[in-house]
Chains A and B, each alone.
Chain A
Amino acid sequence: MSAFDLLLALALLLTAWRALASPELFRAVVLFIVFGLLMALAWARLAAPDIALAEAAIGAGLTGALLLDAVGHLRRGLRRKTPRRGP
């Protein structure tokens, strides 16, 4: 196990925690995407390129896009209720 792997594991735990604990939804989603990309890197380090590809494409990319979409919908809902509060 190299220093890189150790750093990767720490970064994974940190981004996972930050994504869950972040009060702001947009930041949480971005952290989730970062987590997915780091996870893909971890799978690649574990010599599982198939899972790495799937994680990067579906876990980080597509799920991230869907979550961003959902945050946008939620924000628009909020803005409709309180028109003065800008984005």
Chain B
Amino acid sequence: MKKALQWTVAALCALLAAALTVALLALPGAPVRLAAEVEAQLPASGVAHPVTAVLLNFRGYDTLLEVAVLLLALLGMLAAGAGPRALAVPPDPLLAVPPDPLLAGLARTLAPLMLLVAGYLLWAGAHRPGGAFQAGAVLAAAAVLLRLAGLLPAWARPGRRLRLAWAAGFALFLLAAAGGLAAGALLRYPPDWAGALILAIEAGLTFSLGLILAGLFLAGPEAPRGGGGA
């Protein structure tokens, strides 16, 4: 019975995949060559890398909302985790075990390098692959590594400073976007300042996104130290 259900679901999934493939192949080609448009407008964007130009300038609205979604996800997690049910989980016996000294040493060596890589990715975003999201993910990975090595305490009760830091990147982006209203439209940067403005926004986003992504792992009443699968 269960086997039959599984096969039915698999067959339906395959059917859906086939239908999607057919629909995708039947789509007409794009009426506008967007890549050429981006190339033509690149000098006015303030950055030299087309992907960053699209993400932070031409389609900045999408990125703004993406950051908002990430912030909301964290807020939702905090709101759901703060209830009495989550607090009822008994402490992890693994937490009493001191962490591996080798891991701690490695984390101590790697964390500054990861900070450096995050800074590089942020700076490189203006003219080659990189940018705020990637840099933020590296920052978050550094925080998670430090947590797993037992060098960083869990953020059991996020204080006001941490909350402000979580929201700062989005707030800065929103401020810059609203500043464009004076020039006529949301997110319209003055061309002379666009480069500096984008760098400032990306720096703020890197900082906040790193903390948000790390917060998904570290925040909450109880986070395991030994790694889930160990």
Contacts and interface: CB of A to CB of B under 8 A. Distances in A.
Contacts of A68: 227-229
A52 B129 CA distance: 9
B134 interface: yes
Interface string B6-43: 00000000000000000000000000000000000000
Interface string B191-230: 0000000000000000000000100110000011011111
A29 B138 contact: no
A68 B227 CA distance: 7
Contacts of B228: 26, 29, 67-73, 75
Interface string A48-65: 011011100110011001
B122 interface: no
Chain A CB count within 10 A is highest, among B129, B134, B138, B228, for: B228
6 contacts: A30-B229, A53-B121, A57-B141, A61-B141, A69-B223, A72-B226
Nearest to B121: A53
Interface string A10-29: 00000000000000001001
Interface of B: 51, 89-90, 92, 121, 129-131, 133-134, 137-138, 140-141, 144, 213, 216-217, 223-224, 226-230
A65 B129 CA distance: 24
A66 interface: yes
A-B residue pairs, 5 tightest by C-beta: A72-B228, A57-B137, A68-B228, A49-B129, A71-B228
A45 interface: no
Nearest to A53: B134
A61 B134 CA distance: 11
Given A29-B228, A72-B227, A72-B230, 12 more contacts: A50-B129, A50-B131, A54-B133, A54-B134, A57-B133, A62-B141, A62-B144, A68-B227, A69-B217, A75-B228, A76-B224, A80-B90
Nearest to B226: A72
A54 B226 CA distance: 26
Interface of A: 26, 29-30, 49-50, 52-54, 57-58, 61-62, 65-73, 75-76, 80
Contacts of A53: 121, 129-130, 134
A72 B51 CA distance: 37
A71 B229 contact: yes
A72 B224 contact: yes
A35 B217 CA distance: 21
Contacts of A75: 228
A57 B228 CA distance: 19
Contacts of B230: 72
A73 B140 contact: no
Nearest to B213: A62
Contacts of A61: 137, 141
Contacts of B141: 57, 61-62, 65
